[in-house]
Structure 1
Amino acid sequence: MGYNRTVRISLGDVDSAQVIFFPTVYRWHEYNFSEWLAANFRPLREILASGFGLPVVHSSAEYLSPLHQDDSVTLESWVADIGRTSLTFRTNVLEGAGVAAIVETKHVWVAFSPAGEFKAAPFPAELAAALTTDVSPG
């Protein structure tokens, strides 16, 4: 059930050496995460408006092979791990037959207090159900 899409690497996605600018994969990953949330639970705007959120507590990116302007890549994203109040979302950046980059973010489900403080909270049932059906590659 993950979320997949194909993109062509644009001029704005590369640095002066014409290889992928390192934060580009995070932007793609965040887009896929937002789309996954909207398709499987609720759009992030609605989540935040309801007094909850999913802040990132850890992120990593591994670059396994160079990506260049005009390369076409497939972004394959899914929920890689589920905890009691956290989830890890993973994106494989596929170019040709191989994985060119891997991005992971660990998010914690939190409830916001009226004072703006937040604390970890159990997932709502609807999100928990979506998470348990998506722990596998897209």
Structure 2
Amino acid sequence: MTGAEQFAREFEDAFQQAYLRFHRRDGKRAQMSGASRAVLLHLAHAGPLTVGEAAQHLDRAQSVVSDIVTQLESKALLEREPDPEDRRRTLVWLTPQGFDALDRERQVLSTELLARAGSRMTADERAALVGGLTALIHANEREEP
């Protein structure tokens, strides 16, 4: 077995253990529905839109998107605001809480569990861990000769 193959096996084992210890455990109640996530993600990428524009972009009925927007608005994740260029139009946009919720939805690992474990590591150990993972990611992006 080559050094690279040995590394791959050891890293895979360590990664499995890390994932099992640090994955998010929010449970179903805390998870966002796929439709809500899709609306938030689309708005985050496209910018403020009307409900009709969002419905067209998402290829959904306007009434369906309107219901989702109303639900997200009630949770303070979205807000409606007048279009500064045309006061007759109302745009939908993410609130700071909406951006935070979207960020949490993207997280695979629990930052709370990682922070707790990281507090028991030295600054050099934390930097080495992140640096090593970053190097691994960059190595994967390089073309083979």
TM-score by length of 2: 0.26
More strand by share: 1
The higher relative CO (CA closer than 8 Å, separation ≥ 6) is in: 1
More helix by share: 2
